[in-house]
Amino acid sequence: MNVWVVVIIIVIAVVSAIAQTIKNQQEKEQAPRRRNNNSRANASGVKTGASDMDRFLQEIEKLRKRAADGGEEPKKPASRPAKTTRGVPTVAPAKKSKRDVPTIPVSRRIEDLPSATVVPPPPPPPTPFPVEAPTPPPPVPALSLDRPMVSKTSRPAMATPFGKNLFTMLGNKQSIPTIIVLQEIFGPPKCRRG
């Protein structure tokens, strides 16, 4: 397994070296083309597609040509005054105080604040009407556990078998969750519901 790791590393190194040499060759071929394009643009007076980098490279080429021609720099216009050299200002070292701990001025704001006075709560308003004692609720009959609770309302009798089945299904506590699950299973997808 260690052999495969070494082989993979060697293959990656070889591929990157080949890619680097190809890239260098392409750059060497494109450099004369760029120079020719720049000289054509300068000769015609119109810059075609010159970017900031191309302008920078042109300035570098101009400086190299000047250095090769004799190192003469163009004369500056006489309208500018000659620079005068001034003495370099020196900064005196800061004087250290006797204490290294900075002092914070004491604020008198807390003492200047007015003190709050306690106001007693207002008395409750008088009741306009006399309050009557509530009447106790009627007694609830005791429930017996041996007989089931039956509601006093009469239920309509179902005439059809579908009505009877529907009535018994709605009377069961588990029927509503079952209906919801069946509707999710057999109903249309949620993305198509309106």
The crossing angle, in degrees rounded to 10, of helices 175-186 and 161-171 is 110
Contact 61, 54 (CB under 8 A): no
User: How high is the mean pLDDT of the chain?
Assistant: 75
Report how far residue 192's alpha carbon sits from residue 170's, in angstroms, rounded to the nearest whole number: 28
Report how far residue 12's alpha carbon sits from residue 6's, in angstroms, rounded to the nearest whole number: 10
Q: In this predicted model, what pLDDT tens digit does every residue of 107-143 receive, in sequence order?
A: 666 666 667 777 888 888 776 766 677 787 777 666 6
Instruction: Centre a 10 Å sphere on the Cβ of residue 167 and count the other Cβ atoms it contains.
Output: 13
Is pTM, for the whole model, over 0.85?
no
Q: Which string of DSSP letters, residue by residue, matches 138-187?
A: PPPPPPPSSS----SSPPPPP-SHHHHHHHHHHHSTTHHHHHHHHHHHHS
Q: Decide which of 168 and 147 is more confident.
A: 168
Report how far residue 58's alpha carbon sits from residue 64's, in angstroms, rounded to the nearest whole number: 10
Q: In this predicted model, what pLDDT tens digit does every residue of 40-97 receive, in sequence order?
A: 655 555 455 557 888 899 999 999 888 888 755 555 555 565 566 677 777 777 776 6
Compute CA 141 distance to the chain's CA centroid, rounded to the nearest angstrom.
Answer: 65
Nearest to 61 by CA among 25, 36, 30: 36
In the prediction, which pLDDT does 91 show? 77
